[in-house]
Structure 1
Amino acid sequence: MDQPERWRHMASAPRDGSRILVTVRSSEQGAAEVDVAYWSHGDRFGAEGWRASDSAPGCIIEYAEPELKCWMPMPSANISRASAPSPWQGEDAQQLDGSGI
């Protein structure tokens, strides 16, 4: 991960439980947004899949694969950087980081 602040295809996202930033696709419920998510291997709270719990304390949100557009590693702490990255706004067919195959 030599370029940590770069959006990448979800196919390359780590599925080891580590937290990552994801772009949630826009839908009838709202515009695209960035969330913190992690891969869960399934437990008493739900089936295997992408989850977020940081954005809504006390509430576990499950994302279906098609809801997530791309990902990037969590940024390191940087005092000079005051905001989170913007959601990916490019076309789905455009390459983010590799072919996605």
Structure 2
Amino acid sequence: MNQPDTADWQPMATAPRDGSRILVTIRASEQGPAEVDVVRWARAAHAVEPGWVATDSDAIAPVTYTAGELASWMPLPTALSGRNRPRIAKSELPQPDPGEIDGSAI
């Protein structure tokens, strides 16, 4: 399967339902602001139908999302996903404070 560009969010209708972990955007609601979570398509404990389950859920009280709560998805980035991005020159990186080189900030 060809992976879509990880810079582009995809419609939830195209999300894989094979149990693989994906990033999703959660719509803002009265419970809180919009956010991002990692989910997979699975059957939660004691659930009749499979659905989108947060991967950091507790087995006893899983966090599940309805289709209306999720706006879009993208595959999880891989270690190789940034290979074609331009390199940052060492001179552009922030330089450490000389007074805190040895962990003296404690």
| TM-score by shorter chain over 0.5 | yes
Specify which of 32, 39, 44 is matched with residue 30 of structure 1: 32
Q: 2:40 is paired with a residue of what secondary structure?
A: strand
Does the 8 A contact of 1:5 with 1:73 survive in 2? Answer: no
User: Could you tell me which residue of structure 2 aligns to residue 11 of structure 1?
Assistant: 13
TM-score (norm 2): 0.63
Larger Rg: 2
Quick check: which one's helix share is greater? 2
Q: 1:2 to 1:23 in 2, by over 3 A?
A: closer
Cα distance in 1, alignment partners of residues 55 and 5 from structure 2: 26
| TM-score, normalised relative to structure 1 | 0.66
Deviates more, 1:27-36 or 1:44-53: 44-53
Aligned partner (choices 51, 60, 63) of residue 53 of structure 2: 51
Partner amino acid, structure 1, of 2:10: R
Q: Give identity over the alignment, percent.
A: 48
Q: CA deviation at 1:5?
A: 2.4
Structure 1 vs Structure 2 CA RMSD? 2.1
Q: CA–CA distance in 2 between the matches of 1:62 and 1:43?
A: 8
- State the secondary structure of the residue aligned to 1:29: coil
- Identify unmatched segments of 5+ residues in structure 1: 81-101
> What is residue 87 of structure 2 aligned with on the other side?
none
Contact 1:21 1:71 in 2 (8 A): yes
Which consecutive unaligned segments of at least 5 residues does structure 2 have? 83-106
Greater relative contact order, per chain length (Cα 8 Å cut-off, separation 6+) = 1
Aligned to 1:71, what secondary structure does the other structure show? strand
